Structure 1
Amino acid sequence: MEPVETLLAAHRAYLLGWNVGIAGGSDLVTYRSDVRHATLNGVLRVSGRTPDNALAEARERLDGVPRIWWAGPDSDAGTADGLVALGAVPIANLPIMTMEVDRVAPVPTPVGFRIAETTDMDKFVPAYGRVSGIPAEEMATAIAREKAFAGDGTVIRLAGRFDDGPVAGTAVAWLSHGLLTLYFVGTQPEHRRRGVGAAMTVAAIDLARERGVGTVALTSSEVGKPLYGRLGFRTVGTFQLLSF
């Protein structure tokens, strides 16, 4: 299993692929997509900076867009508490989960469901955007940013469909730092409770195995955590998310 530091580095590399702003040095790493959706703008790491100093600079870099602060295991101890004392608002605690690809629990594929790599961003982005809460008025910008994505790794976008219907499930597989990290795993509301999310996750795990990658990682919501636990993922750390 890869060390947590490697998982966090891969996570930073993915989100920096969206960046059109100032990334900064290792003491304060930020990314800015200019999509008005908090997850796509934020702070990824702070080290050796006082909370008030880091917060002031982060607000300047990310002025004008919704944003979040990922306070993770590689940020200075006490970062989240220091930010809260300065007015940042806790949003959620997200478990960081990993699994070795040869330990995935088998799951049935929904009848008629097919998963394939896609390059059609005009259909793929609105599908995951609908599930992720990206506002409709921001979709054109999100599509443009996805098309221009340029991270330190390889991104593979998987779309699942029932027969020849529209996109029902999505997953972004990010190959970086010797592992595969998952993003935007989602199911359209009208297709939930049919095993789509599990099928999309397993398809990405199969992709990792085919490419000789031994570890898959993701950051889960509390809602998704039971599903990933059933598949074989285990929690190795936590992100504290804050708005500021």
Structure 2
Amino acid sequence: MGSLDTLLAAHRAYLLGWNIGVAGGPDLPTYRSEVPHATLNGVLRVAGRTPRDALVEARRRLHGVPRVWWVGPDSDAGTADGLLSLGAAEIARLPIMTVTIDAAAKVPTPTGLHITETTDLATFVAAYARVSGIPAGALTATTEREKAFTGDGTVLRLAGRLDDGQVVGTAVAWLSHGLVTLYFVGTQPEHRRRGIGAAMTRAALNLASERGARTAALTSSAIGEPVYRRLGFRPVGEFRILTF
């Protein structure tokens, strides 16, 4: 299993792939996509700065866009409490989960679901945006940022389509730092409870394994955690997601 530091570095590398602003240094890395959706702009860690100093600088870099603070094991102890004392609100706690790909459970692909890599970014983004809460008015900007995505790794985008071509499931596999981290794993609401999310996750693991990855990681929402646990993922840390 990869070290937690490596998992966190891979996570930072993915979100920095969205950045078109000032990234800063390792003490306060930030990413700014210009997409009006909080999780696509934010602060990735605070190391060696006081919360107040970090807040002043982050506000300068991220002014005008919704954003979040990812406060996890790679931030200084006390960062979350310090930001809360300055007026931040905690909006979620997300477990950081990992699994050795060879040990992950096998799951069936639902009848009529076809999972393949996709380059049809407009359709792909529209599907994950609906699940992730990205507003319809931001679809063009999000698609353009997907097209321009750059980073120290490889992005694999998987779409789960029904026989009629409708995209009902999505997953992004980010190969970096010797492992795969997963993003935008989602199922269209009217097609949930059919095993699509598990099948999308398993397909992403299979594809990453073919590319040489041995460990997978992700951050999970409350709705997704039971699915990932059934696949064998286990928590190794936590992000506290804050906003101002």
Deviations 1:39-77 (A, max 9, x none): 000000111101100001101110001100000101000
Aligned length: 244
CA distance in 2, matches of 1:164, 1:99: 33
**Percent of aligned pairs sharing the same letter:** 71
Equivalent-residue separation in structure 2 for 1:100 and 1:237 (angstroms)? 16
Alignment of 1:3-152 (within 5 A): 3-152=3-152
SS in 1 for 2:164: coil
Residues of 2 paired with 1:106 and 1:159: CA distance? 19
For the residues of structure 2 that align with 1:116 and 1:91, how far apart are their CA atoms? 34
Tell me the equivalent position of 2:232.
232
Question: Displacement, 1:163?
Answer: 1.2
Q: Secondary structure at the match of 1:45?
A: coil
- 2-side partners of 1:15 and 1:99: how far apart? 21
Q: Equivalent residues in 2 for 1:155-194 (5 A)?
A: 155-194=155-194
What is the DSSP-based 3-state SS (H/G/I as helix, E as strand, rest coil) of the residue aligned with 1:169?
strand
Distance 1:27 1:162 in 2: 45
CA RMSD of aligned residues (A): 0.7
Aligned amino acid, residue 81 of structure 1: D
Q: Distance in 1 between matches of 2:186 and 2:130?
A: 9
Moved more, 174-183 or 206-215: 206-215
Provide the TM-score with structure 1 as the length reference. Answer: 0.99
Normalization by structure 2: what TM-score? Answer: 0.99
Q: Which amino acid aligns with 1:159?
A: A
* Cα offset, 1:212, TM superposition: 1.9
1:145-179 CA distances to partner (integer Å, 9 max, x unpaired)? 01110111000000001113211100000000000
- Unpaired segments ≥5 residues, structure 2: none
| Matches of 2:114 and 2:25, distance apart in 1 | 42
The corresponding residue for 1:243 is 243
Local SS of the residue matching 1:151: coil
Residues in 1 aligned to 2:212 and 2:13: alpha-carbon distance in whole angstroms: 20
- Whole-Å separation in 1 of the counterparts to 2:164 and 2:223: 29
For 1:173 and 1:59, how far apart are their aligned partners in 2?
30
What one-letter code is carried by the residue in structure 2 that aligns with 1:238?
A: E
Q: Secondary structure at the match of 2:44?
A: strand
Q: Any gaps of 5 or more consecutive residues in structure 1?
A: none
* Residues in 1 aligned to 2:180 and 2:79: alpha-carbon distance in whole angstroms: 27
Is 1:154 aligned with 2:154? yes
Distance 1:57 1:106 in 2: 46
Inter-partner Cα distance in structure 2 for 1:184 and 1:30: 20
Alpha-carbon distance in structure 2 between the residues aligned to 1:211 and 1:164? 30
How far apart are the structure 2 equivalents of 1:134 and 1:197?
19
